[in-house]
């Protein structure tokens, strides 16, 4: 059966698996965002991810495994809490931080004794992971894959985003598997279970589509905020997920001032808001309304930021979303994007 026009063919997937087995890079879709993958057990291959992205070597990457993969091959200890969450949420957008098995190189964990593992639900990702694992002598294959973008920039949610981000690698033959637009649109939830034996955890290192409340409902215990001893994890730096255009996260008061032209830079400005535009808006401002539902907002966010980045705006002003738990992941991503910029908004 032929693949849909927006999905990789079996031949494409087989070719990408061969390249991964040969120590090369391959980009592929997941339900969260597109990933830039390499053989997790090949330090030189993983090093190519860091080089292509411009990623600090102490910043961990997540290892992706197929549904039939053996988690105990990758982790030194798989606590009962992990099994409960796997049964509830895998395959899906949940990354578990566990104690790394001694035979797994610390290249994937930024030098730490932990490892981040997840099992994606996207059918193309699952097919690639299965084909890759089948080429391993022991049948155990993991693909290390952070988001397929330059470090700190907006994550890709379509294959064309990846191609525009890595034109040199694509020209050199790096496959980019098609998989349509990412269903979730933001990165996975990351939960630390690596320190349960020391009385720490579970700890939410990065919010995502699967909420702390959902995790608590499965485990029956509280999920805690990160502490000073928490392991480093993907996408948790203060400034991250940022477009190239200056981005400002605006409170309601700041937004009202901007709509009257106060504190704006020269040039065109776009306001990204989940509410309709008011009757009177400064002529320099373009209003971009986005869904008021947090899941739909998250799905649209990165593609929108990439689109706005190419339109010559002097600034992207984002209306601060609600502060309730349903918006936690969206607020996390926008807050980190805004932290990348120091802006003058004093003329109020």
* 57 annotated among ligand-binding-site residues: no
Whether the Cβ atoms of residue 184 and residue 31 lie closer than 8 Å to each other = yes
In 3D space, the residue among 238, 237, 223 whose CA is nearest the CA of residue 192 turns out to be: 223
The answer to whether 241 is annotated as binding is: yes
Q: Which residues contact 289 (CB under 8 A, 6 or more apart)?
A: 273, 274, 275, 276, 277
Q: What are phi and psi of 304, to 5 degrees?
A: -65, -45
Distance CA 89, CA 86 (A): 5
118 assigned ligand-binding residue: yes
Exposure on the CB side of residue 26, measured as CA atoms within 13 A: 28
272 close to 319: Cβ distance less than 8 angstroms: yes
> Prior bond to 91 cis, omega within 30?
yes
Give the H or E element holding residue 36: strand 35-39
Is 121 annotated to bind a ligand? Reply is no
User: Degrees (nearest 5) of the Cα angle 336, 339, 341?
Assistant: 135
Evaluate whether 209 touches 295 at the Cβ level (below 8 Å).
yes
Compute the half-sphere exposure of residue 163: CA atoms within 13 Å on the CB side of its CA: 9
Query: Token digits for 340?
Result: 């990348």
Scan for tokens 């689109």, then name that residue. 307
Residue 188 marked ligand-binding: yes
How many CB atoms sit inside 10 A of residue 215's CB?
22
Coil, helix or strand at residue 285: strand
Q: Which residues are annotated as a binding site for L-threonine?
A: 32, 64, 145, 188
Binding region = 32, 55, 64, 118, 145, 147, 155, 188, 206, 241
């Amino acid at each position: 059966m032929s693949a849909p026009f927006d999905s990789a063919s079996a031949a494409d997937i087989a070719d990408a698996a061969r390249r991964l087995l040969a120590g090369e890079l391959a980009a592929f879709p997941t339900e969260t965002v597109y990933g830039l993958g390499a053989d997790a057990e090949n330090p030189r291959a993983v090093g190519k991810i860091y080089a292509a992205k411009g990623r600090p070597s102490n910043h961990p990457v997540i290892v992706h495994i197929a549904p039939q993969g053996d988690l105990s091959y990758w982790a030194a200890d798989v606590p009962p809490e992990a099994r409960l969450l796997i049964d509830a949420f895998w395959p899906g957008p949940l990354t578990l931080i566990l104690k790394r098995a001694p035979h797994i190189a610390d290249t994937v964990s930024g030098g730490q004794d932990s490892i981040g593992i997840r099992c994606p639900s996207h059918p193309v990702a699952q097919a690639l992971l299965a084909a890759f694992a089948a080429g391993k002598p022991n049948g155990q294959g993991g693909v290390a894959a952070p988001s397929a973008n330059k470090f700190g920039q907006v994550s890709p949610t379509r294959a064309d985003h990846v191609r525009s981000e890595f034109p040199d690698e694509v020209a050199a033959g790096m496959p980019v598997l098609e998989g349509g637009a990412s269903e979730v649109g933001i990165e996975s939830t990351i939960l630390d279970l690596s320190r349960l034996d020391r009385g720490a955890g579970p700890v939410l290192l990065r919010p995502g589509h699967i909420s702390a409340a959902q995790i608590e409902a499965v485990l029956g215990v509280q999920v805690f905020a990160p502490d000073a001893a928490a392991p480093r994890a993907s996408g948790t730096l203060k400034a991250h997920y940022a477009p190239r255009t200056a981005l400002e996260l605006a409170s309601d008061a700041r937004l009202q001032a901007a709509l009257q032209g106060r504190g704006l830079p020269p040039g065109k400005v776009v306001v990204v808001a989940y509410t309709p535009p008011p009757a009177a808006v400064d002529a320099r401002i373009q209003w971009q309304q986005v869904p008021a539902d947090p899941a739909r907002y998250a799905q649209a966010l990165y593609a929108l930021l990439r689109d706005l980045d190419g339109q010559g705006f002097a600034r992207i002003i984002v209306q601060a979303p609600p502060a309730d738990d349903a918006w936690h992941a969206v607020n996390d991503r926008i807050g980190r994007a805004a932290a990348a910029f120091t802006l003058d908004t004093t003329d109020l």
